[in-house]
Amino acid sequence: MEVRLASKAGFCYGVKRAIELALTTAEENEGPIYTLGPLIHNPQVVKDLANRGIKEITVLPQNEGGTVIIRSHGVGPDILQEAQEKDVRIMDATCPFVARAQRYAREMAEQGLPVYILGDPGHPEVQGILGWTKGKGIVIEGAEEINPVEDHRVGLVAQTTQPLANYQAVVEALQKQGLQVDARNTICHATGERQQAALELAKTVDVMIVVGGKESANTKKLARICQETGTPTYHVESAQELQEDWFREAGTCGLTAGASTPDAIIEEVKRRMNEMDQMNGEEAMQDAMEVK
Ligand code: F3S
Protein backbone atom coordinates (compact mmCIF):
# COMPACT_ATOMS: atom_id res chain seq x y z
CA MET A 1 0.00 0.00 0.00
CA GLU A 2 1.30 3.42 -0.91
CA VAL A 3 0.85 6.12 1.75
CA ARG A 4 0.53 9.64 0.32
CA LEU A 5 0.82 12.71 2.54
CA ALA A 6 -1.23 15.80 1.62
CA SER A 7 0.95 18.59 0.18
CA LYS A 8 -0.18 20.89 3.03
CA ALA A 9 -0.85 19.26 6.40
CA GLY A 10 -0.24 19.77 10.10
CA PHE A 11 0.95 22.77 12.11
CA CYS A 12 0.18 26.19 10.67
CA TYR A 13 2.45 29.19 11.24
CA GLY A 14 0.41 30.59 14.16
CA VAL A 15 0.22 27.30 16.08
CA LYS A 16 3.92 26.56 15.60
CA ARG A 17 4.75 30.05 16.86
CA ALA A 18 2.50 29.66 19.92
CA ILE A 19 4.14 26.37 20.92
CA GLU A 20 7.65 27.73 20.45
CA LEU A 21 6.77 30.75 22.59
CA ALA A 22 5.32 28.50 25.31
CA LEU A 23 8.42 26.31 25.37
CA THR A 24 10.88 29.23 25.53
CA THR A 25 8.77 30.91 28.21
CA ALA A 26 8.91 27.74 30.31
CA GLU A 27 12.66 27.43 29.83
CA GLU A 28 13.49 31.03 30.61
CA ASN A 29 11.10 31.83 33.46
CA GLU A 30 10.83 30.86 37.07
CA GLY A 31 7.41 30.62 38.63
CA PRO A 32 4.14 29.24 37.40
CA ILE A 33 3.38 29.31 33.68
CA TYR A 34 -0.17 28.99 32.43
CA THR A 35 -2.08 28.97 29.18
CA LEU A 36 -5.51 30.58 29.15
CA GLY A 37 -7.47 27.65 27.72
CA PRO A 38 -5.76 24.76 25.91
CA LEU A 39 -2.85 26.18 23.87
CA ILE A 40 -3.97 24.11 20.90
CA HIS A 41 -6.72 21.55 20.32
CA ASN A 42 -4.48 18.54 20.60
CA PRO A 43 -4.58 16.51 23.82
CA GLN A 44 -1.13 14.97 23.30
CA VAL A 45 0.52 18.37 22.96
CA VAL A 46 -1.40 19.77 25.93
CA LYS A 47 -0.24 16.78 28.01
CA ASP A 48 3.34 17.28 26.89
CA LEU A 49 3.17 20.97 27.88
CA ALA A 50 1.73 20.00 31.27
CA ASN A 51 4.70 17.67 31.80
CA ARG A 52 6.96 20.66 31.22
CA GLY A 53 5.10 22.60 33.90
CA ILE A 54 2.81 24.63 31.61
CA LYS A 55 -0.66 24.39 33.10
CA GLU A 56 -3.99 25.14 31.48
CA ILE A 57 -6.30 27.54 33.33
CA THR A 58 -9.70 28.99 32.45
CA VAL A 59 -9.51 32.22 34.47
CA LEU A 60 -6.55 34.41 35.35
CA PRO A 61 -4.86 33.56 38.67
CA GLN A 62 -5.72 35.70 41.71
CA ASN A 63 -2.81 37.98 42.60
CA GLU A 64 -0.22 35.18 42.70
CA GLY A 65 1.81 36.52 39.80
CA GLY A 66 3.06 34.03 37.26
CA THR A 67 3.06 34.13 33.48
CA VAL A 68 0.05 33.53 31.28
CA ILE A 69 0.44 32.63 27.62
CA ILE A 70 -2.31 33.94 25.35
CA ARG A 71 -3.00 31.34 22.67
CA SER A 72 -3.09 31.94 18.91
CA HIS A 73 -6.87 32.68 18.99
CA GLY A 74 -6.17 35.89 20.90
CA VAL A 75 -8.28 37.59 23.60
CA GLY A 76 -10.23 40.80 24.09
CA PRO A 77 -8.76 43.87 25.87
CA ASP A 78 -10.67 43.03 29.07
CA ILE A 79 -8.38 40.06 29.72
CA LEU A 80 -5.24 42.12 29.14
CA GLN A 81 -6.56 44.77 31.50
CA GLU A 82 -7.42 42.16 34.14
CA ALA A 83 -3.92 40.66 33.84
CA GLN A 84 -2.38 44.07 34.46
CA GLU A 85 -4.55 44.62 37.53
CA LYS A 86 -3.65 41.20 38.93
CA ASP A 87 0.03 41.67 38.20
CA VAL A 88 0.09 38.68 35.87
CA ARG A 89 2.78 38.67 33.19
CA ILE A 90 1.39 38.14 29.69
CA MET A 91 3.19 36.34 26.85
CA ASP A 92 1.08 37.03 23.83
CA ALA A 93 1.02 34.22 21.23
CA THR A 94 -1.94 35.70 19.34
CA CYS A 95 -1.42 34.71 15.69
CA PRO A 96 -0.48 37.84 13.69
CA PHE A 97 -3.37 37.10 11.30
CA VAL A 98 -5.83 37.12 14.20
CA ALA A 99 -4.20 40.24 15.64
CA ARG A 100 -4.76 41.94 12.27
CA ALA A 101 -8.50 41.13 12.39
CA GLN A 102 -8.62 42.50 15.96
CA ARG A 103 -6.87 45.68 14.87
CA TYR A 104 -9.22 46.28 11.92
CA ALA A 105 -12.26 45.66 14.13
CA ARG A 106 -10.96 48.13 16.72
CA GLU A 107 -10.19 50.81 14.11
CA MET A 108 -13.63 50.46 12.50
CA ALA A 109 -15.34 50.68 15.89
CA GLU A 110 -13.27 53.78 16.70
CA GLN A 111 -14.63 55.34 13.51
CA GLY A 112 -18.10 54.65 14.88
CA LEU A 113 -18.99 51.88 12.37
CA PRO A 114 -21.05 48.87 13.33
CA VAL A 115 -18.62 45.96 12.83
CA TYR A 116 -19.87 42.69 11.44
CA ILE A 117 -17.75 39.75 12.51
CA LEU A 118 -18.32 36.72 10.31
CA GLY A 119 -17.64 33.56 12.30
CA ASP A 120 -18.70 31.06 14.92
CA PRO A 121 -20.10 33.04 17.89
CA GLY A 122 -18.91 30.39 20.35
CA HIS A 123 -15.30 30.37 19.10
CA PRO A 124 -12.69 32.09 21.30
CA GLU A 125 -11.16 33.86 18.30
CA VAL A 126 -14.51 35.50 17.49
CA GLN A 127 -15.13 36.40 21.13
CA GLY A 128 -11.68 37.98 21.26
CA ILE A 129 -12.31 40.09 18.12
CA LEU A 130 -15.72 41.07 19.48
CA GLY A 131 -14.01 42.35 22.62
CA TRP A 132 -12.08 44.92 20.55
CA THR A 133 -15.21 46.48 19.00
CA LYS A 134 -16.27 48.54 22.03
CA GLY A 135 -19.83 47.23 21.86
CA LYS A 136 -20.12 47.93 18.11
CA GLY A 137 -19.60 44.28 17.03
CA ILE A 138 -22.31 42.07 15.48
CA VAL A 139 -21.42 38.40 15.08
CA ILE A 140 -23.04 36.59 12.16
CA GLU A 141 -22.51 33.13 10.71
CA GLY A 142 -23.80 33.94 7.22
CA ALA A 143 -25.59 36.41 4.95
CA GLU A 144 -29.03 35.21 6.11
CA GLU A 145 -28.36 36.61 9.61
CA ILE A 146 -27.90 40.22 8.48
CA ASN A 147 -30.52 42.55 9.94
CA PRO A 148 -31.04 46.10 8.66
CA VAL A 149 -28.92 48.70 10.50
CA GLU A 150 -29.54 52.44 10.66
CA ASP A 151 -26.02 53.38 9.55
CA HIS A 152 -24.94 53.90 5.92
CA ARG A 153 -21.47 52.51 6.46
CA VAL A 154 -20.55 49.24 8.14
CA GLY A 155 -17.36 47.31 8.71
CA LEU A 156 -16.76 43.62 8.13
CA VAL A 157 -14.02 41.24 9.31
CA ALA A 158 -13.99 37.46 9.28
CA GLN A 159 -12.81 34.70 11.59
CA THR A 160 -9.54 33.54 10.01
CA THR A 161 -10.90 30.06 9.23
CA GLN A 162 -14.04 31.18 7.34
CA PRO A 163 -14.68 29.82 3.84
CA LEU A 164 -14.11 32.54 1.23
CA ALA A 165 -17.50 31.92 -0.42
CA ASN A 166 -19.30 32.70 2.86
CA TYR A 167 -17.37 35.95 3.23
CA GLN A 168 -18.11 36.98 -0.36
CA ALA A 169 -21.84 36.23 0.10
CA VAL A 170 -21.91 38.52 3.17
CA VAL A 171 -20.13 41.36 1.33
CA GLU A 172 -22.67 41.06 -1.51
CA ALA A 173 -25.67 40.93 0.83
CA LEU A 174 -24.49 44.05 2.71
CA GLN A 175 -23.90 45.92 -0.55
CA LYS A 176 -27.37 44.91 -1.79
CA GLN A 177 -28.82 46.70 1.22
CA GLY A 178 -27.26 49.88 -0.18
CA LEU A 179 -24.60 50.02 2.53
CA GLN A 180 -21.07 51.24 2.07
CA VAL A 181 -18.99 48.33 3.31
CA ASP A 182 -15.48 48.56 4.68
CA ALA A 183 -14.84 44.86 4.08
CA ARG A 184 -11.52 43.40 5.24
CA ASN A 185 -10.80 39.90 4.12
CA THR A 186 -9.03 38.55 7.22
CA ILE A 187 -9.27 34.89 6.19
CA CYS A 188 -6.01 33.00 6.66
CA HIS A 189 -4.80 30.91 3.72
CA ALA A 190 -3.49 28.05 5.87
CA THR A 191 -6.94 26.57 6.42
CA GLY A 192 -8.04 26.84 2.79
CA GLU A 193 -4.76 25.38 1.54
CA ARG A 194 -5.05 22.38 3.88
CA GLN A 195 -8.66 21.79 2.86
CA GLN A 196 -7.85 22.00 -0.86
CA ALA A 197 -4.87 19.63 -0.53
CA ALA A 198 -6.99 17.14 1.47
CA LEU A 199 -9.80 17.28 -1.08
CA GLU A 200 -7.48 16.68 -4.03
CA LEU A 201 -5.74 13.81 -2.26
CA ALA A 202 -8.98 12.15 -1.04
CA LYS A 203 -10.22 11.95 -4.63
CA THR A 204 -7.22 9.88 -5.69
CA VAL A 205 -6.86 7.30 -2.88
CA ASP A 206 -8.76 4.25 -1.54
CA VAL A 207 -8.74 5.27 2.13
CA MET A 208 -8.15 8.60 3.86
CA ILE A 209 -6.74 9.09 7.37
CA VAL A 210 -7.17 12.48 9.03
CA VAL A 211 -5.06 13.06 12.15
CA GLY A 212 -5.90 15.62 14.81
CA GLY A 213 -7.74 16.40 18.03
CA LYS A 214 -11.35 15.20 18.17
CA GLU A 215 -12.29 18.68 19.42
CA SER A 216 -10.34 20.50 16.73
CA ALA A 217 -12.80 22.28 14.43
CA ASN A 218 -10.37 22.48 11.52
CA THR A 219 -9.53 18.75 11.75
CA LYS A 220 -13.23 17.81 11.85
CA LYS A 221 -13.76 19.98 8.79
CA LEU A 222 -10.91 18.23 6.94
CA ALA A 223 -12.47 14.84 7.75
CA ARG A 224 -15.87 16.02 6.48
CA ILE A 225 -14.38 17.30 3.21
CA CYS A 226 -12.61 13.97 2.62
CA GLN A 227 -15.74 11.97 3.52
CA GLU A 228 -17.82 13.96 1.04
CA THR A 229 -15.65 12.69 -1.81
CA GLY A 230 -17.02 9.19 -1.04
CA THR A 231 -13.59 7.84 0.00
CA PRO A 232 -13.76 5.96 3.33
CA THR A 233 -12.29 8.40 5.86
CA TYR A 234 -11.15 7.86 9.45
CA HIS A 235 -10.40 10.63 11.94
CA VAL A 236 -7.84 9.59 14.56
CA GLU A 237 -5.98 11.43 17.29
CA SER A 238 -3.03 9.07 17.38
CA ALA A 239 -1.50 5.96 15.82
CA GLN A 240 -3.03 3.75 18.55
CA GLU A 241 -6.50 4.26 17.06
CA LEU A 242 -5.62 2.85 13.62
CA GLN A 243 -7.19 -0.49 12.71
CA GLU A 244 -5.70 -3.02 10.32
CA ASP A 245 -9.10 -3.68 8.70
CA TRP A 246 -9.22 -0.19 7.26
CA PHE A 247 -6.26 -0.92 4.97
CA ARG A 248 -6.89 -4.56 3.99
CA GLU A 249 -8.25 -3.76 0.54
CA ALA A 250 -6.40 -0.47 0.01
CA GLY A 251 -3.77 0.06 -2.67
CA THR A 252 -3.30 3.73 -1.83
CA CYS A 253 -3.98 5.59 1.37
CA GLY A 254 -4.05 9.37 1.88
CA LEU A 255 -2.88 11.07 5.05
CA THR A 256 -3.59 14.58 6.22
CA ALA A 257 -3.65 16.43 9.55
CA GLY A 258 -5.26 19.44 11.19
CA ALA A 259 -3.39 22.68 11.86
CA SER A 260 -2.80 21.67 15.48
CA THR A 261 -1.22 18.27 14.81
CA PRO A 262 2.55 18.02 15.42
CA ASP A 263 4.80 16.42 12.79
CA ALA A 264 5.84 13.72 15.29
CA ILE A 265 2.26 12.41 15.53
CA ILE A 266 1.82 12.47 11.73
CA GLU A 267 5.09 10.54 11.34
CA GLU A 268 4.03 7.98 13.97
CA VAL A 269 0.70 7.42 12.19
CA LYS A 270 2.48 6.97 8.87
CA ARG A 271 4.92 4.47 10.39
CA ARG A 272 2.08 2.48 11.99
CA MET A 273 0.14 2.44 8.70
CA ASN A 274 3.15 0.97 6.92
CA GLU A 275 3.53 -1.65 9.68
CA MET A 276 -0.14 -2.63 9.37
CA ASP A 277 0.18 -2.89 5.62
CA GLN A 278 3.12 -5.23 6.11
CA MET A 279 1.10 -7.34 8.58
CA ASN A 280 -1.86 -7.48 6.21
CA GLY A 281 0.50 -8.64 3.44
CA GLU A 282 1.99 -11.39 5.61
CA GLU A 283 -1.50 -12.61 6.64
CA ALA A 284 -2.63 -12.72 3.02
CA MET A 285 0.48 -14.73 2.10
CA GLN A 286 -0.15 -17.21 4.94
CA ASP A 287 -3.80 -17.62 3.86
CA ALA A 288 -2.69 -18.30 0.30
CA MET A 289 -0.22 -20.96 1.49
CA GLU A 290 -2.88 -22.64 3.66
CA VAL A 291 -5.23 -22.84 0.66
CA LYS A 292 -2.50 -24.61 -1.34
FE1 F3S B 1 -2.92 31.80 12.39
FE2 F3S B 1 -3.98 30.89 10.22
FE3 F3S B 1 -2.98 29.24 11.96
S4 F3S B 1 -4.78 32.47 11.49
S5 F3S B 1 -3.26 30.22 13.89
S6 F3S B 1 -1.84 30.75 10.77
S7 F3S B 1 -4.81 28.90 10.76
pLDDT tens column, 205-236:
999 999 999 988 889 999 999 999 999 999 99
72 marked as binding residue: no
pLDDT-derived band of residue 140, with 50, 70 and 90 as boundaries? very high
Please report, for residues 223, 248, 249, 268, the alpha-carbon distance to residue 253 in angstroms, rounded to integers and kept in the order given: 14, 11, 10, 15
Which CATH number does the domain 13-95 belong to among 3.30.930.10, 3.40.50.11270, 3.30.565.10, 3.40.50.720?
A: 3.40.50.11270
What is the arrangement of strands in the sheet containing 115-118, beginning at the earlier edge strand? 137-140, 115-118, 153-158, 180-183
Q: Is the CB of 95 under 6 A from ligand 1?
A: yes
- Bridge partners of 35? 56, 69
Catalytic positions: 125
* Residue 61 in this model has a pLDDT that exceeds 90: no
In this prediction the pTM is 0.86
Domain 2-9+190-287 has CATH 3.40.1010.20: yes
Q: Is the CB of 188 under 6 A from ligand 1?
A: yes
* Residue 291 in this model has a pLDDT that exceeds 70: no
189 marked as binding residue: no
Q: Is the CB of 15 under 6 A from ligand 1?
A: yes
Q: Is the CB of 190 under 6 A from ligand 1?
A: yes
Write down the pLDDT at residue 215: 85
Judge whether 13-95 and 97-187 match in fold.
no
> Can you tell me which atom of ligand 1 is nearest the CA of 188?
2
Whole-number Å distance, alpha carbon 155 to ligand 1 midpoint, is 22
From 206, 290, 187, select the one nearest 248 (Cα to Cα). Answer: 206
Q: Tell me the CATH number for domain 97-187.
A: 3.40.1010.20
Q: Where are the domains of the chain?
A: 2-9+190-287, 13-95, 97-187
Q: How far apart are CA 107 and CA 113, in angstroms?
A: 9
The ipTM assigned to this model is: 0.99
Q: How far apart are CA 29 and CA 265, in angstroms?
A: 28
Whole-number Å distance, alpha carbon 260 to ligand 1 midpoint, is 10
